[in-house]
Structure 1
Amino acid sequence: MNTLTSTNFNFPGQKNVYHGKVREVYTLENNTLVMIATDRLSAFDVVMPKGIPFKGQILNQIATKMMRDTEDLVPNWLTATPDPNVAVGEACEPYKVEMVIRGYLSGHAAREYKAGKRMLCGVPMPEGMKENDKFPEPIITPATKAEAGDHDEDISREDILKRNIVSEEDYLQLEDYTRKLFQRGTEIAAKRGLILVDTKYEFGKTKDGKIVLIDEIHTPDSSRYFYAEGYQQRQDNNEPQKQLSKEFVRQWLIENGFQGLEGQQVPEMSDDYIKTVSERYIELYENITGETFVKADVSNIQNRIHNNVLAYLKG
């Protein structure tokens, strides 16, 4: 199966290109960004050797739909999606923090809790919780990029303000937007029989000083979902939750001796395993959007993207 694992386009008016872990961002003249979602899979801040069929399309289309479904609450950077893997929008200066919000004790928070910690990013976590329990109120646990490397680091609101990473006025706006988006995401998920467990949002500032939502929103790479049906029963029986997120890949890697630590080798992903990962991503797309996933033509993904973006820029 053809996958998109790298791009090297040269669009009209192109000024530079940034190759992220999963997305590639082309900056053009007139303050325009062309963001391409590849099929690369990242876990524990490491990009896996093989691409996942249709993953980029799935991420891009979920993010696009969720941007449209929340633009009445929070302005965003998006202006067009000329291709299944492509979003075009306004260039912004990104804030150097990711706004992580958690409704449940899962993932990183659960691992910290198990290690005996009751404070995460300066926010207290109640005693007596077990993994996947709901917090009394959603908690915001921001992350910032480490000085060296791409690893995300937990950071408190106090440290963000003390180190002047974000001004207090802007940070309060980011918190407000984060809570509103999470509430809307929770409502959308509930209509689909899902629980939005935790997620992260990234924001930027436009040239005219407006704070906007950027990057992706409510995708399986940035969010964790549980199936609502049977959630409480599984909690009561101390059973793992049935979830739709990238966590199943992380768990598989952990079981195969990999957590992104120094000296560890990424385990071999067979074609069969990659097919199951692709199917899980399609399952999430259909569950969260309530729509049937339509596979794009992947006979020549690079050509398709190039032609669609050129047609949009000319049009």
Structure 2
Amino acid sequence: MKLIYKGKTKDVYELEDGNYLLKFKDDVTGENGVFDPGANTVGLTMEGAGRAGLKLTKHFFEILKEKGIPTHYIDADIEEATMTVKPATVFGKGLEVICRYRAVGSFLRRYGMYAEEGQPLDAFVEVTLKDDERQDPPISEDALDMLGILSSNEYKELKDVTKKIAGTVKEELAKKDIDLYDIKFEFGRTQDGQIVLIDEISGGNMRAYKQGEYIEPLQLEKFMLEK
């Protein structure tokens, strides 16, 4: 295996057959020891976070596969905390796509003059650039198109599939009486140009609450996968 990229929460290797292997770590993003899915830094290490994130990711990717929603997922090895995926290139140097059902986090920090904490949002989709130096600035459809990162047609497709995937996750969480406040995705293009969901769907990239109480990523995996 050839190491391609060392990330904050996972490392990426190239396999001999042309596919890729993601190795999940126990590091999660946050600041000053507090978890934050939107943070640009590793805030803390939580033992078992890598496997927990992978278990939940496998669970959700297999549901999406049944629904015919395209992802890069091939299979996962929970013991090794690895996931085998199809190759896909990111848009520009990477985008994050957030779907918001409640006003919390960076949305509230930016729009607090108008928004109240926790107020309902109608599956609001926003795109940010993966740019640690500039603290992941939000970017509009027009700017994405003009800068050659994503065409307007691709943006519309991205927005549509984001709502479908977030809606699927929200429905699954609701079965356990868990409310999804927001969730962050990454997408890429496969070699044939298809837009697919990449990376992961785990407690580390969403905010979820049960009876008004925030659920930690490791706890979320337990709630979701317990029989």
TM-score of the pair, normalised by structure 1: 0.64
What is the deviation of 1:82? 2.6
Is contact 2:88-2:191 (8 Å) kept?
yes
Pick from 109, 112, 117: which aligns with 1:111? 109
Pick from 120, 124, 132: which aligns with 2:118? 132
Match of 1:154 in 2: 138
Is contact 2:142-2:152 (8 Å) kept?
no
What is the deviation of 1:281? 3.6
What is the deviation of 1:42? 2.1
1:66 aligned onto 2:71: no
1:225 aligned onto 2:225: no
| Structure index of larger Rg | 1
Is contact 2:189-2:195 (8 Å) kept?
yes
SS in 2 for 1:111: helix
Paired letter, 2:28: L
CA distance in 1, matches of 2:148, 2:120: 32
CA distance in 2, matches of 1:20, 1:150: 18
Match of 1:271 in 2: none
CA distance in 1, matches of 2:163, 2:45: 33
What is the deviation of 1:150? 7.6
Q: Could you report, residue by residue, the CA deviation over 1:175-203 in whole angstroms, capped at 9, with x for unpaired residues?
A: 11001111111111111101111111111
Please show how residues 1-315 of structure 1 align to structure 2 within 5 Å.
11=1, 14=2, 16-43=3-30, 44-48=39-43, 51-71=45-65, 72-84=67-79, 85-95=81-91, 96-114=94-112, 116=113, 127=114, 129-135=115-121, 137-146=122-131, 149=133, 151-217=135-201, 219-227=202-210, 229=211, 241-244=212-215, 280-291=216-227
How many percent identity over aligned positions?
23
CA distance in 1, matches of 2:48, 2:136: 26
Is contact 1:192-1:290 (8 Å) kept?
no
Which one has a larger percent strand, Structure 1 or Structure 2?
2
SS in 1 for 2:70: coil
Q: Which runs of 5+ in 1 are unaligned?
A: 1-10, 117-126, 230-240, 245-279, 292-315
SS in 1 for 2:117: coil
CA distance in 2, matches of 1:189, 1:51: 25
Is contact 2:203-2:218 (8 Å) kept?
no
CA distance in 2, matches of 1:157, 1:29: 37
Aligned residues: 215
CA distance in 2, matches of 1:164, 1:200: 22
What is the deviation of 1:24? 0.3
CA distance in 1, matches of 2:208, 2:84: 27
Deviates more, 1:53-62 or 1:91-100: 91-100
What is the deviation of 1:282? 3.1
RMSD (Å) for aligned C-alpha atoms: 1.8
Paired letter, 2:101: G
